[in-house]
Structures are given as structure tokens and as C-alpha cells.
Amino acid sequence: MKKIVLLGSTGSIGVNTLKVVKTFPDKFSVEALSVNTNIQLLKEQIKVFAPKVVAVTDRAKAKELREEIGNSIKVLEGEEGLKEIAASSEYDIFVGAMVGFAGLAPTIEAIKRGKRIALANKETLVVAGELVTSLIQENNAELIPVDSEHSAIYQSLVGEKINEVEKIILTASGGPFLHRTKSELDSVTIEDALNHPNWKMGSKITIDSATMMNKGLEVIEAFWLFNLPKNKIEVVIHPQSIIHSMVEFVDGSIKAQLSTPDMKLPIQYALTYPDRLPASHVETKFHAIKNLTFFEPDFDKFECLKLAYNVMEIGGTAPCILNASNEVAVEKFLTGKIGFTKIPYIINKSLEKIENHKHPDIAQIFECDKETRLFAGQLS
């Protein structure tokens, strides 16, 4: 029986993780859960999964929850509540399914304890890849990606040697604006941008998919996860999202992992690796799919993807600046304060303005995140 800590339990990865846990009640139990604000769904999850402790980032909501459920379980609050769960609960697997920079601090606590980290929170590796990967080695922790593309690459690399990899090819759906022109992007609405063709996800990652920043973050994530030269990470548009990503080897052979899109597959793999357990989450019928198509990404139209490649090259705190300004810009777009094409504009301005630090320590990363948010917050 493996004990699981799941931070971000009411988001799309969190909900799917609990579905996987429910499929194998004799293999997994839930030790702790956390949410930002959604205590309604958390209450239902508490009834079904009986965690020993929960954390609610929003303090008013934490108080509300305590009043409703009494002393039956421990309710922690604030960002330090997430850290405390990661640092002091008794568990085997840490599932990091929080959104954005907030995932970093608790993930580091779990790494320091040498746990298995099933990581869906890609921002952790984007902002602190160098630090996180060295901490993983020092502490003998294990990092298994939950992001579907990285899970596909991870699966394709089983039994292979990393020095025999020619390149990795991340697939991208292209999002809702694949067939719009660059000038048409000026006038797209929030509803247009939230209308993802293949995946049902939270609003932040859905906007990131529409700008293709999501793929940009994934390129940086792949760089840290697989320790490959930067020019060996490619992106190809594949609108059907059936091939989740590919690895090409030095002999020209290519391995891919495929299925009908369903996040329960990469989540389950991260929980059960190196084993596979029987489950009937999805069916993949090739005669129904018929066509798999591919395009080159348009770096001119999807400026965010280009910016991500640039900051990967620059290194230091540049990816942290990119991430923080993107989080601010996406929030502004979602609340109707800026238009869609102002997202790359705000990121660009922030990268120009904020000073870069090479090989940042954790304090410098937090400082950079804070400084960038302050600056980007004033732009429109």
C-alpha cells in the first residue's frame, strides 16, 4: 500500500489522480490533500478518501472548512500549510498538481525527504530546474513526469541509453488558434482562448495552450528532465494529440507513446512505475481516428513559444522571469484587463527590464518571482 500526498486535489490533474487511486483501493491510500479555495469539492474528497490532514491556501476558506467539519481532521492553511504537509506527513508518493510558481516550495520539501515525486506542476522545473535536479540527486529522490508529453518520452526511454538519443520531439495540439492568422489573434476573446480542442483543463494551462506558452514551458521542462542538449528538443504540431511525444535515436529509429488523450494514463504510470497495472481508462481505435497529421510550429505567430526557447538558451533566472510575467499576463487576460497579444508583450517587457542572475539559489528565485510580478503587474 503506497501512501499519497496530493497537492492541488480539485484541479483537473488532482481529480484525475483521485480517479486512479479509486481504481486501485488496495494499492493506494490518500494521506493528505490540498486546495486553493474549492472547499466544497474538498469536503466530498475528504468523505471518500479520508485523508489525515488537508491544507487550504486561502485562509478565509480554511476557517470556513474548520467550522463546517469540526476537529475530525487537521486543516492547515496558507502556503506554509502545503510546505508542512510535504515536510512532515508520512507518505511514499508526492503528487504535485498545483498551478504555477506556488508548486515550488512544497515540491522542494518532498525532494529533500527523498520521495517519489509525480510532477504535473511544470513551473517547478521551469523556474528552478538546475536547483531541483541537483537536489533530486543529492537526496536520492525520484522524479516521474505526469505531463503527458514528458511521460511519453519517459516511457519511450525505458531500456534505452540517453547518449543514444538523437532528439526528442514534443507534440503540440496547436491549441484553438492553430488556423488563425497572426493579425486575427489581436481580437480573440477569453471564450475563444478557453475553447481547447482536445483537453479539458484548468483555465491557466488552457490559455498557455492557446498562446503555445504551455509547449514553451514543456520544452524547458524536458531540458531539465532528460538532460539533453538544448538543440535536441523539437516541437511538432499534431492536432489529434494521439501521439503524446517521440524519441528519435541515433540510428534513425523513432519510439512514440500513443493513446486517446486521457490524463489518467500518465498519472497512473507515474504512480505505478516501473509496473503497469490493468485499467480501462481509455480505448484507442485507429479506424475511428483515421488520420494523424503534423505541422511545423509557427514561431512568428506563437511568440511565447519562441520566448521560451530564448530563455532556455539564456538560463539563470530568465525562465523565472518568463514564468512569473506569464502568470501575471494570463491572469490579466482572464480578468479582461488585456487583450490576447498583450501576453507576449508583457513577458518581453519583463525580460528586458528584470536583471538575470546565473545559477540562482532558492532565495534569488523567490526574489526574482516577486520582482517580476510587481513589474509585470503594472503593464497593460
Q: Rounded to whole angstroms, how far apart are CA atoms 96 and 121?
A: 6
Residue number with the smallest Cβ distance to Mn ion: 147
The stretch among 145-153, 226-234, 317-325, 339-347 that binds Mn ion (CB under 5 A) is 145-153
Q: Rounded to whole angstroms, how far apart are CA atoms 20 and 230?
A: 34
Neighbours of 55 (CB within 10 A): 28
Q: Does the protein bind Mn ion through residue 303 (CB under 5 A)? A: no
> Residue 183 carries which DSSP code?
G
CA 123, 244, 27, 139 dihedral sign is negative
Q: Does the protein bind Mn ion through residue 221 (CB under 5 A)? A: no
Beta bridge partners of 5: 32, 94
Q: Rg of the Cα trace of the chain? A: 20
The stretch among 60-68, 143-151, 188-196, 285-293 that binds Mn ion (CB under 5 A) is 143-151
Q: Shortest approach of Mn ion to residue 145 CB, angstroms? A: 9
Q: Which of residues 149-188 bind Mn ion (CB under 5 A)?
A: 149
- Cβ closest to Mn ion, residue 57 vs residue 241: 241
Q: Rounded to whole angstroms, how far apart are CA atoms 155 and 368?
A: 34
- Cβ closest to Mn ion, residue 148 vs residue 350: 148
The stretch among 142-150, 251-259, 273-281, 355-363 that binds Mn ion (CB under 5 A) is 142-150
**Chain position carrying cell 521542462:** 221
- Cβ closest to Mn ion, residue 115 vs residue 215: 215
Q: Shortest approach of Mn ion to residue 189 CB, angstroms? A: 24
Q: Shortest approach of Mn ion to residue 99 CB, angstroms? A: 13
C-alpha cell at 266: 500518465
Q: Rounded to whole angstroms, how far apart are CA atoms 153 and 256?
A: 7
Number of residues that bind Mn ion (CB under 5 A): 3
The stretch among 77-85, 104-112, 146-154, 281-289 that binds Mn ion (CB under 5 A) is 146-154
- Sequence-distant (6+) residues with CB within 8 A of 7 are 32, 33, 34, 55, 82, 85, 86, 94, 95, 96, 97, 98, 103, 106
Neighbours of 36 (CB within 10 A): 18
The stretch among 18-26, 141-149, 279-287, 303-311 that binds Mn ion (CB under 5 A) is 141-149
Q: Rounded to whole angstroms, how far apart are CA atoms 130 and 24?
A: 35
The stretch among 89-97, 111-119, 147-155, 306-314 that binds Mn ion (CB under 5 A) is 147-155
Q: At what angle do helices 12-23 and 264-272 cross, to 10 degrees?
A: 60
Q: Shortest approach of Mn ion to residue 268 CB, angstroms? A: 16
Q: Shortest approach of Mn ion to residue 375 CB, angstroms? A: 28
Q: Shortest approach of Mn ion to residue 147 CB, angstroms? A: 4
Q: Shortest approach of Mn ion to residue 174 CB, angstroms? A: 13
Q: Shortest approach of Mn ion to residue 357 CB, angstroms? A: 28
Q: Does the protein bind Mn ion through residue 147 (CB under 5 A)? A: yes
Most distant CA atoms of the chain, gap in Å: 63
Cα angle value 213/216/217 (rounded, 5°): 90
Neighbours of 273 (CB within 10 A): 16
- Cβ closest to Mn ion, residue 269 vs residue 375: 269
SS3 339: coil
- Cβ closest to Mn ion, residue 148 vs residue 317: 148
Q: Shortest approach of Mn ion to residue 96 CB, angstroms? A: 14
- Cβ closest to Mn ion, residue 36 vs residue 148: 148
- Sequence-distant (6+) residues with CB within 8 A of 15 are 9, 41
- Cβ closest to Mn ion, residue 147 vs residue 331: 147
Q: Shortest approach of Mn ion to residue 243 CB, angstroms? A: 13
SS3 338: coil
C-alpha cell at 378: 503594472
- Cβ closest to Mn ion, residue 31 vs residue 149: 149
- Cβ closest to Mn ion, residue 149 vs residue 369: 149
Region of 296 on the Ramachandran plot (φ > 0 left; ψ -120 to 50 alpha; else beta): beta
- Cβ closest to Mn ion, residue 13 vs residue 318: 13
By the criterion CB under 5 A, which residues form the site for Mn ion? 147-149
